[in-house]
Amino acid sequence: MLRRRPAAPLRGLVDDYSGYALHGLPLTMHRGLPSRWLTVVLAIDEPLELAAMPDPRQPPGVFQAAFGGLHSSPARIRMDTHHTGIHLALTPRGARTLFGVTAGELGSRVVHLDEVVGRSGGELLERVHAESTWPRRFEALDGVLLSWLRDRPKQARPEVVWAWDRLVADGGAPRVQDLADDVGWSRRHLNQRFRDEFGLPPKVAARVVRFERARRMFEEDPRASLARVAVSSGYSDQAHLTREWQALAGCSPARWLREEFPYFQDWTDVEEPESSA
């Protein structure tokens, strides 16, 4: 499985492209975990089958190209023995600038990409399908997304952008009241504006950011102790970490590692593009 950063003009909008080719693994359920990224998944062979959505009000679905918002509960993805595709991690600003939709408008739903961008979604999928190697697929993504760059996208309120950036930069540590005081709003007004823009209230977004930091630590070192990860990720103690994993992932960290280790142990970062096009 391969990971590559996008072309330079797309950075800050797209974090990375992740290409996966899973073959010979047993039929199982994969957890799509909460994170600070919106996600686009382009299936290259078998479609993506979501047996359970992050928003329990949404029925299961099958997708050739899926677009998912920010969420605070896991998706359950049915994994057959053969799956190939590309996962794009988008910032909220990237969703606005490239796809013309806010995280708040999408909420915690997963939708077909063409519901957001129309026929352009099918054209993106066709460009990726036309290539047979990962470098060429990533180049195709760069080319299409660069053509989608909007010169003057509708801007979010600077106060909520600042609050989001502060939460992410400080690992979910800032108190909501402190954020509200810093932007000169009431806590209630910040909560409403923030949720309108990102689909999650700031307190929940902070929990997701903290959780993602812990998840990345486990990915880098699956043998890391719960106590060390808890302290490094901003949790009060190991019990706090475990409670949050049960709430956000639907399982304990130990169970998640047992289930998911085959999917992230073989990630390889590939060479970044030399030019912006």
What number of other Cβ atoms are within 10 A of residue 26's Cβ? 8
Say how far apart CA 77 and CA 38 lie, in whole Å.
16
Say how far apart CA 66 and CA 113 lie, in whole Å.
5
Mark whether 172 and 146 lie in a shared domain.
no
Tell me what the mean pLDDT of segment 163-182 comes to.
97
Query: Residue holding tokens 């009000």?
Result: 57
69: in domain: yes
Q: pTM higher than 0.85 for the full model?
A: yes
- CATH code for position 220: 1.10.10.60
Task: Please give the tally of structural domains in the chain.
Answer: 2
Residue 9's domain comprises 2-152
Which residue has better confidence, 95 or 28?
Answer: 95
What number of other Cβ atoms are within 10 A of residue 27's Cβ? 8
pLDDT digits (tens, 9 = 90+) for 125-154: 999 999 999 999 999 999 999 999 976 677
274: in domain: no
Predicted confidence at residue 218, as pLDDT, reads: 93
Nearest-Å Rg of the Cα atoms of the chain is 18
Mark whether 22 and 148 lie in a shared domain.
yes
Mark whether 215 and 249 lie in a shared domain.
yes
Angle between helices 176-183 and 202-220 (to 10 degrees): 120
pLDDT digits (tens, 9 = 90+) for 201-260: 999 999 999 999 999 999 889 889 999 999 999 999 999 999 999 999 999 999 998 887
Both tokens of residue 9?
């003009």
pLDDT digits (tens, 9 = 90+) for 36-90: 999 999 999 889 999 999 999 999 999 999 999 999 999 999 987 678 999 999 9
Confidence category of residue 268, pLDDT binned at 50, 70, 90: low
111, 130, 152: which is the final residue of a domain? 152
pLDDT > 70: what percent of the chain? 91
- CATH code for position 82: 2.60.120.10
